[in-house]
Amino acid sequence: MGHFITSKDIPADGEHLKKGALSKWINICGLVALVGIIASVWLLFSGNEAANTASDTVAGRYAYSWLFAFAFFISFSLGGAFWLLLHHVSNSGWGISVRRLMENLASVFPWMGIIAIPFLFPQVQQHLFEWMNRHREVLGSVTSYANAKEILHHSYGQFDHMLYAKAFYMNLPFWLGRMIGYFVLLGGAIYILKKISLAQDTDPEPGVERLKKSRKLCAAFLPIFALTATFLAFDLLKALDFKWFSTMYGVYFFAGCALNGMALLILTSILLRRAGYLQTVMSPEHHHIMGKLTFAFVVFWAYVTFSQFFLIWYANITEETSYFLLRNTGNWNIANIALVFGHFALPFLFLIRQDVKKNPALMIPITIYLFILHALDHYIIVAPERGPSLTVGSEAGASLLPSGSVVWLDILAFVTVGAFFIFVYLRTFTKNSLYPCRDPRILESANLFN
């Protein structure tokens, strides 16, 4: 416990990073991202051949790499948005000291829309989303969507009736609208929350109005987040195999978001404290709470992931098993079993002790370990779909381990999107105070004891 922190200990203008403290990293990441994006655009939009064998082209393989990197990095910012919204809506006091970090992480989300732009182009979509290919094929001969739906209805194509039944949701205009809606609505929500929070920092007479306003707004924003996280996962990841069913998929994606969002918040706060910031407002107690939430979501992730597998495995229905048949074959099965122990059992044992959660020297490797396993998790979601499927030839899928050239494409996409993510994330730290210094409850949070 020791010294009780009072308002005298907290500077009126908060703590700011030293000017140029991050500029070296921002410049490096910005440069890497710029070069990577130029190379990626060239890879994605050159060398396309006819649609049916397209997945074997470099562009086809790279589309999957890009999707993997995008899904991995957007999950951090979605996690940040979740913790920010939850913190406001539950009227929490403990995390005021780290709320600005949540806001910074969440505010990366709208920028990730730039990475999603390639998914809007048919040249990229044709490799990823087979249902779009069939829709375009049918639309080619008719003028309106209603007519296209009728053609699907009366077609004898193997999966056309499923496309007809799902047409209310899986159609091109609605898909495009949703993609834009996710980034505009949730991005707008995050922007509004951050703006309210920043206005408090300079208000000479700060009161509780902004807290109350944020709480009310968040009650409305939380459903937007839930829909965005769920249907973003449906539209980009689950739709890789449109004939597959799983009601657990949205919450499965969300569990990874919340877990790794919190892990990244822990890592960020530890690095800031190591650099000499956040000394008065944060204590090991904050790391204890954040570690507990990480621990909880390690268990939640395992619970949800196993629930999805278990019901499908037990029921053994043809429409549902395809996902796990692919992923429990050959080398993918080894990776999947590694996930059981690496993503659940080991972190469970790491994080179960209180002194580990309060020890920054141990939490840095643990959070990085969680990121690596999260990357494996998302790789298993995306990469196997590069293999054999309904319309794409079997040659690419013949070897279950990704061939050498594919791994290099994955690494290029990962580094590019990662550099872009870090570039945007670090830039959010440069302008504002590192914590909401005039929040009415900053003292409550600084003197946290649990």
Partner 1 sequence: MNTKRVYGYLAEFKSASALYKAAEKVRDAGHKKWDCYSPYPIHGLDKAMGMKKSILPYLVFCGGTLGIITAFALAYTTQVVIYPTVVQAKPSNIFTTAAFFPIMFELTILFSGFTTLFGLLALMGLPRLNHPLFESRQFARTTDDGFFIAIEARDPQFSSEETKTLLEDVGGSNIELVEEPAS
The total of other beta-carbon atoms located within 10 Å of residue 279's CB is: 11
- Of 99, 78, 97, 79, nearest to 88 by C-alpha is 99
Q: Which of 4, 156, 168, 449 binds partner 1 (CB under 8 A)?
A: 449
Q: How many residues bind partner 1 (CB under 8 A)?
A: 9
CB of 357 to partner 1, least distance (A): 13
Tokens of 152: 């699907």
Residues 408, 412: Cα–Cα separation, whole Å: 6
Stretch that binds partner 1, among 51-59, 111-119, 305-313, 381-389 (CB under 8 A): 305-313
Q: Which of 45, 306, 369, 371 binds partner 1 (CB under 8 A)?
A: 306
Stretch that binds partner 1, among 18-26, 61-69, 100-108, 312-320 (CB under 8 A): 312-320
Contact 128, 237 (CB under 8 A): no
120 or 317: whose CB is closer to partner 1? 317
- Of 247, 240, 262, 211, nearest to 78 by C-alpha is 262
Q: Which of 82, 309, 350, 423 binds partner 1 (CB under 8 A)?
A: 309
Stated as kind and residue range, the H or E segment containing 171 is none
329-368 positions binding partner 1, by CB under 8 A: 352
CB of 349 to partner 1, least distance (A): 10
202 or 321: whose CB is closer to partner 1? 321
**Residue 4 binds to partner 1 (criterion: CB under 8 A):** no
Q: Which of 24, 314, 361, 394 binds partner 1 (CB under 8 A)?
A: 314
- Longest distance between any two alpha carbons in the chain, whole Å: 76
Stated as kind and residue range, the H or E segment containing 176 is helix 172-202
For residue 172, how far is the Cα from the chain centroid? 23
CB of 305 to partner 1, least distance (A): 12
**Residue 313 binds to partner 1 (criterion: CB under 8 A):** yes
Stretch that binds partner 1, among 110-118, 208-216, 219-227, 306-314 (CB under 8 A): 306-314
Residues 62, 95: Cα–Cα separation, whole Å: 40
Contact 303, 295 (CB under 8 A): no
Residues 101, 135: Cα–Cα separation, whole Å: 43
What does the DSSP assignment read for 220-267?
Answer: HHHHHHHHHHHHHHHHHTGGGGTT---TTHHHHHHHHHHHHHHHHHHH
CA angle 16, 368, 249 (to 5 degrees): 105
**Residue 318 binds to partner 1 (criterion: CB under 8 A):** no
CB of 316 to partner 1, least distance (A): 5
79 or 347: whose CB is closer to partner 1? 347
1 or 146: whose CB is closer to partner 1? 1
CB of 208 to partner 1, least distance (A): 24
Using CB under 8 A as the criterion, which residues of the chain lie in contact with partner 1 when the complex forms? 1, 306, 309-310, 313-314, 316, 352, 449
